[in-house]
Structure 1
Amino acid sequence: MELSDIDLNLLVLFQRLMQERRVATVAEQMKMSQPGVSNALAKLRRRIGDPLFVRGPGGVVPTPFALRLAEPVSQALATLHAALNPVSGFDPLRAMRTMTIGMTDIGEVVFLPALLERLSREAPGVALNTVRNSSVNLSSEMATGRVDLAIGLLPQLKGGFYQRRLFDQRYVCLFRHGHPLEDAPLTLAAWREAEHLVVVSAGTGHGQVDEWLKRRGVWRQVRLTVPHFMSVGFILQRTDLIATVPERLALQLAIPFSLSLRALPLTLPAAPIHLLWHARAHQDEANRWLRGVVIDLFTDTGTQARKARSAQKKQ
């Protein structure tokens, strides 16, 4: 097949369908009627010789051939977009703009203090905006450029996205200084019998941990359930409740709220935390710069490199 046989708009439509999986949503985004989208898809099917999408629960499901086609099409469109919209360079010290990152409430505690500290030195004119990964359609928001980066466990972002693994999120037990468990062995029996504060955080890696415990029949005495992590430090500080939380969050909360953290008496699966960006922003210099800062600050290799640089300065 020759490139002249394919209308570029059909490839754009294909990419949107891969991201949204709903004809009505794509029709609205591309300012087309739903029959118009269906007719265009039928034309592309004839050209490609594959159904590409079939009906599924709540929308359409890509065929195996469409899944193989998604990444090269996304990269090709991103390259073309970058070529047609050249940039003159990005100088972080002079830049005046706002960049948006999708993250959870845990992410705001773990990532934002260090990230803002770095930006205040290296990019004082760059402001940050955050959105909840679970409250917006990240695929659409990133495809249109309204969200620049996303951080978290985000398996829904597949075709058309790049990703970089930052770290594996491990879990620890957190409780107040002076808690009865502080000077006693944290056995599985003691952990189960203590009163627990549980965060029900649907759509996040922490939610998967709770599902893992339920599937394996690990019972615990739940005294309080809350829908987010923002109140965890305040509650633990003044009660005898304990909480199972991500280690990096525990390290941030320990000193301000006078809390102790201990290794869990059972091994929970670690959640891989990724940095993700859309193919359309892959060549964008501002996006690339911000990605580099996040990677330097929060990957294990980035942490090691910073320690090495600090040691060299002291010599």
Structure 2
Amino acid sequence: MELGDIDLNLLLLFHRLMRERRVASVAEQMNMSQPGVSNALAKLRRLLGDPLFVRGPGGVVPTPFALRLADPVAQALATLHGALNPVTGFDPLRATRTITIGMTDIGEVVFLPDLLERLSRVAPGVALNTVRNTGVNLSDEMADGRVDLAIGLLPQLKGGFYQRRLFDQRYVCLFRRGHPLESAPLTLAAWREAEHLVVVSAGTGHGQVDEWLKRRGVKRQVRLTVPHFMSVGYILERTDLIATVPERLALQLAKPFSLSLSALPMKLPAAPIHLLWHARVQHDEGNRWLRELVIELFADGGGRTARSSPLPTRAR
């Protein structure tokens, strides 16, 4: 099929149906009648030789072919939108905007203090908003422009996104100062015999570390399990529990909570932490400025050799 054989509006309709999954919602967004949307979809079906969507509970469900087509179409539309709506002359000192970044609770502890301190000096009119990487459909939120950047280990973001590796997240053992384990190098036997605080964080790099320990039969005495990292410092400060946590988080918690950290007695896989953004903002000057600031502050090497790469397209 040649590009001249297809109407751009049909691809826009397809993209919105992929996002909304309801004909009525798409009809309202595109100022069309529902029969008009159905007729346009029928034309697209004939052109592509596939049903694309079938009826499902509460709306329509995409076919496997539609799922394979979704990311390339979204990326192409985002690129075209960016080319037709260029933003020029971004001045951080005069900018007044709110930037939304997807990150975990660890990310808020590790990144926000330095980032806010720098923004207060170089971009005083820029406000920040954060959302949990696991709390929203990050791919759709970024494709629609509601989330500007994301930081973390995010394998769900593939086609239509760019990435820049910031650093590899290593893990350490964290416990209170004066803990019996503080006086000697930590052995595997001592680590296993200690009582552990474990954070269950599925879908994050830390969750993958827990799976790695389970697959290799590395057992520990779990005394307490919590769903986030926000309480870790408070609990370790007042108990003899120990926790295996990301090194950069441990360094942030050590001083305010009087904690010590030690190298682990086994080598855990490091989690690659990336900065990610959608193709629709690849050429947005404000977004580019913020990306460069994040790279300068947090990337190993300070970003001097930064190289951003588009992620491969995949079927959802």
Distance across 2 between alignment mates of 1:88 and 1:121 = 22
Q: In the alignment, what sits opposite 2:311?
A: none
Q: In the alignment, what sits opposite 1:176?
A: 176
Q: In the alignment, what sits opposite 1:311?
A: none
Q: In the alignment, what sits opposite 1:233?
A: 233
Q: In the alignment, what sits opposite 1:88?
A: 88
Instruction: Give the conservation status (yes or no) of the 8 Å contact 1:23–1:37.
Output: no
Distance across 2 between alignment mates of 1:180 and 1:34 = 70
Structure 2 counterparts to residues 269-308 of structure 1, below 5 A: 269-302=269-302
Structure 2: tracts of 5 or more residues without a match: 306-316
Structure 2 counterparts to residues 165-314 of structure 1, below 5 A: 165-302=165-302
Instruction: Give the conservation status (yes or no) of the 8 Å contact 1:109–1:252.
Output: yes
What does the per-residue CA deviation read over 1:197-216, in whole Å, with 9 as the maximum and x for residues that have no partner?
A: 01111221111211221222
Instruction: Give the conservation status (yes or no) of the 8 Å contact 1:53–1:66.
Output: no
Q: In the alignment, what sits opposite 2:141?
A: 141
**Residues 1:153 and 2:153 aligned together:** yes
CA gap 1:31/1:203 in 2 versus in 1, 3 angstroms: farther
Distance across 1 between alignment mates of 2:158 and 2:27 = 21
Distance across 2 between alignment mates of 1:234 and 1:186 = 22
What does the per-residue CA deviation read over 1:57-92, in whole Å, with 9 as the maximum and x for residues that have no partner?
A: x954645x964x666544432232123223232100
Q: In the alignment, what sits opposite 1:113?
A: 113
SS of match in other structure, 1:127: strand
Distance across 1 between alignment mates of 2:158 and 2:36 = 26
Shift of 1:231: 0.8
CA gap 1:197/1:288 in 2 versus in 1, 3 angstroms: same
What does the per-residue CA deviation read over 1:210-246, in whole Å, with 9 as the maximum and x for residues that have no partner?
A: 1221222211001111111011111111111100001
Distance across 1 between alignment mates of 2:262 and 2:63 = 44
Q: In the alignment, what sits opposite 1:104?
A: 104
Instruction: Give the conservation status (yes or no) of the 8 Å contact 1:70–1:159.
Output: no
Q: In the alignment, what sits opposite 1:309?
A: none
SS of match in other structure, 1:101: strand
What does the per-residue CA deviation read over 1:24-48, in whole Å, with 9 as the maximum and x for residues that have no partner?
A: 4x86466479998776556445434
Instruction: Give the conservation status (yes or no) of the 8 Å contact 1:70–1:160.
Output: no
Shift of 1:13: 4.3
Q: State the superposition RMSD in angstroms.
A: 3.0
Q: In the alignment, what sits opposite 1:313?
A: none
SS of match in other structure, 1:158: coil
Shift of 1:135: 1.2
Instruction: Give the conservation status (yes or no) of the 8 Å contact 2:52–2:62.
Output: no
Instruction: Give the conservation status (yes or no) of the 8 Å contact 1:163–1:274.
Output: yes
Distance across 2 between alignment mates of 1:204 and 1:35 = 43
Bigger mean CA offset, 81-90 vs 279-288: 81-90
Q: In the alignment, what sits opposite 2:21?
A: 23
Structure 2 counterparts to residues 62-81 of structure 1, below 5 A: 62-63=64-65, 67=68, 73-81=73-81
TM-score, structure 1 normalization? 0.84
Instruction: Give the conservation status (yes or no) of the 8 Å contact 1:93–1:123.
Output: yes
Give identity over the alignment, percent.
82
What does the per-residue CA deviation read over 1:279-311, in whole Å, with 9 as the maximum and x for residues that have no partner?
A: 211121111111111111111121788xxxxxx
Letter in 1 for 2:276: L
CA gap 1:212/1:14 in 2 versus in 1, 3 angstroms: farther
Structure 1: tracts of 5 or more residues without a match: 306-315
TM-score, structure 2 normalization? 0.83
How many residue pairs get aligned? The number is 300
